Structure 1
Amino acid sequence: MQKLNFPNYSFRFKNSENKTFIFDVIRKKFLLLTPEEWVRQHVVNYLIEEMYYPKSLINVEKLVKVNGINKRYDIVVFRNDGSFFLLVECKAPEVNITQQTFDQIAQYNLVLNAENLMVTNGLNHYFCQMDFENEKYIFLKELPRF
């Protein structure tokens, strides 16, 4: 897999039927290693190892209803009170981050109301803090630590 713009992490892999799987420490199972999953697993490790977010407050790939349509967010981090602290949208490295990507995460966030957003393709990372009052995001240099 492609080298990403994250620190080096050790991952558990397994091969089966000519396919490679990567272990997800949050979902506690092996998942097919796709370019997007490669990015998602780096983000999970980044949140735990660099930003000190507790594993118990991280959730990966769960259903969210947006305008009556079932969607799946990539990663969220909760606050201790159960509210949404961070929403992350992951794309494969070959996918450019565009306005459409920000529109997608903004749609999810209309439902979730996370205070912070992260959009990444593993190579480029964008961090935002929501300004709900003025309905805009403020770009940050990095995410707040836990």
Structure 2
Amino acid sequence: MKIEGGLVVNDMQKRSDLVIYNAQGEKIILAEFKAPHVKITSKTFEQISTYNTKHRIPYLLVSNGIEHHFCKIDFDNGTFEFIEDIPNYIRET
């Protein structure tokens, strides 16, 4: 895992909250965390999506500790889908 990793997006310094790697060292989950009083909005998803243009990670997690949202990214088709949970095989790798 890498916590608060720096990255440059559109010539601006940013930081992702959490990147999780599998046993092979591949990035598998990008997470964005907000405080419990912060509502998860489309702006939150825009933020993590912007970070993911650099990372290109297949699963996204957005949470404020109360609400948790998971997305699966299909880079080949340029689409995404909300999913109920992170697949078990991701947890085991």
State the TM-score, normalizing by the size of structure 2.
0.88
Structure 1 position 124 matched with structure 2 position 44: no
Greater Cα radius of gyration, structure 1 or 2: 1
- Partner in structure 2 of residue 72 of structure 1: 15
SS at match of 2:47: helix
**Correspondence for 1:143:** 86
Letter matched to residue 78 of structure 1: Y
**How large is the RMSD of aligned CA atoms in angstroms?**
1.1
Any unmatched runs of 5+ in structure 1? 1-57
Query: Which residue is equivalent to 1:38?
Result: none
Normalised by the size of structure 1, how large is the TM-score? Answer: 0.58
> 1:60 and 1:129, CA in 2 relative to 1: closer, same or farther beyond 3 A?
same
> Counting strand residues as a fraction of each chain, which structure ranks higher?
2
After TM superposition, give the deviation of residue 80 of structure 1 in Å. Answer: 3.2
* % same residue: 39
Aligned twin of 1:94: 37
- How far the C-alpha of 1:83 sits from its partner, in A, is 2.6
Per-residue CA distance 1:40-94 (angstroms, 9 max, x = gap) = xxxxxxxxxxxxxxxxxx1111101111111111011013333310000000011
CA distance in 2, matches of 1:66, 1:128: 21
Number of the residue aligned with 2:5: 62
Q: 1:131: Cα distance to partner?
A: 1.1
Give the AA of the match of 2:7: V
- Partner AA of 1:60 in structure 2: I
Report 1 or 2 for greater relative contact order, CA contacts < 8 Å, sequence distance ≥ 6.
2
How many residues matched?
Answer: 89
- Which stretches in structure 2 are left out of the alignment for 5+ residues? none
Question: Would you identify which runs of 4 or more consecutive aligned residues in structure 1 move more than 3 Å?
Answer: none
